[in-house]
Amino acid sequence: MVSSMGWRAPCKGPAHIGLALLAAVLLVAGCGSSKQVSRIDPATPVDLSGRWNDTDSRWVAEAIISDCLAHSWTTQHMQANNGDVPVLIVGAVRNMGTEQIPVGTFLADIERALINSGRARVVARPDEREDLRLERADQWANASAETVKRLGQELGADYMMTGTINTISDRVEGKQVIFYQVDLMLMDIETNLKVWMGQHKIKKYIARDRFKP
């Protein structure tokens, strides 16, 4: 638009841009976010970023432990030990991937799945044992004779479970595929014999829009 005054205006309507500026500023002034909080069932899968989350941890632990306990080594152990269920200790699960994964939560999920199955017993991990030993030592110094717990009665584990978590990620623009592979193995502590190996895989496709309103 060229006015009679000779200056050039890129807008076509009256005060078009002035009003647009006003609307824009009002938007800025009034765009405070409104936070909403609602409670959801912890078992409900919620995927936000696509990264490893509580649902992955729980599902992998349940699937892989179910596979572990369905194999013949449990039966063989019970036959060889007068029907006693095996005693396990969960050792290190190393994260060999490219994503920071809270391995502690995953170990807890594995222990929970093992214990809840009723087909294996689980003893404390090294860091947990120290607290118990300190407590027993304290009891011997301070607790009554009737209630003090005995020393040297810890249950030795028959098997140790260890494993790795690996990640492969491929990304182009707003598209990403993440592949997680969890490998666990169970070893006889006395003989070093590997009695079971299990694997669980998760593949996720994450797509991000380039634009939003």
Q: Which residues bind another protein (CB under 8 A)?
A: 1-12, 14-18, 20-22, 24-29, 49, 94-101, 103, 169, 171-172, 174, 208-213
Instruction: In angstroms, give the least distance from the CB of 92 to another protein.
Output: 9
Count the Cβ atoms, other than its own, within 10 Å of residue 163: 22
Q: Among residues 25 and 134, whose Cβ is nearest to another protein?
A: 25
**Of 150, 182, 177, 149, the residue nearest 166 (C-alpha):** 182
Cβ closest to another protein, residue 12 vs residue 150: 12
- The distance of closest approach from Cβ of residue 49 to another protein in the complex, given in angstroms and rounded to an integer, is 6
If the CB atoms of residues 10 and 156 are measured against another protein, the closer one turns out to be: 10
Q: How far is the CB of 94 from another protein (least distance, A)?
A: 6
Which pairing describes strands 194-207 and 175-188: parallel, antiparallel, or unpaired?
A: antiparallel
- Non-local (6+) Cβ contacts of 87 within 8 A are 120, 121, 122, 123, 155, 156, 157, 158, 159
**Tokens read off for 180:** 């997680």
Phi, psi of 184 (to 5 degrees): -125, 150
- Cβ proximity to another protein: between 103 and 123 the closer is 103
Kindly state the smallest distance separating residue 38's Cβ from another protein, in Å: 20
Between CA 41 and CA 62 the distance in angstroms is 18
CB contact at 8 A, 101 and 182: no
Among residues 15 and 137, whose Cβ is nearest to another protein?
A: 15
Nearer to another protein, 3 or 142 (CB): 3
CB of 161 to another protein, least distance (A): 18
The helix (H) or strand (E) run that includes residue 163 is: strand 159-172
> Cβ 85 to another protein, closest distance in Å?
31
Q: Which two tokens stand for residue 200?
A: 């669980």
Q: Which position has the token pair 């290190």?
A: 92
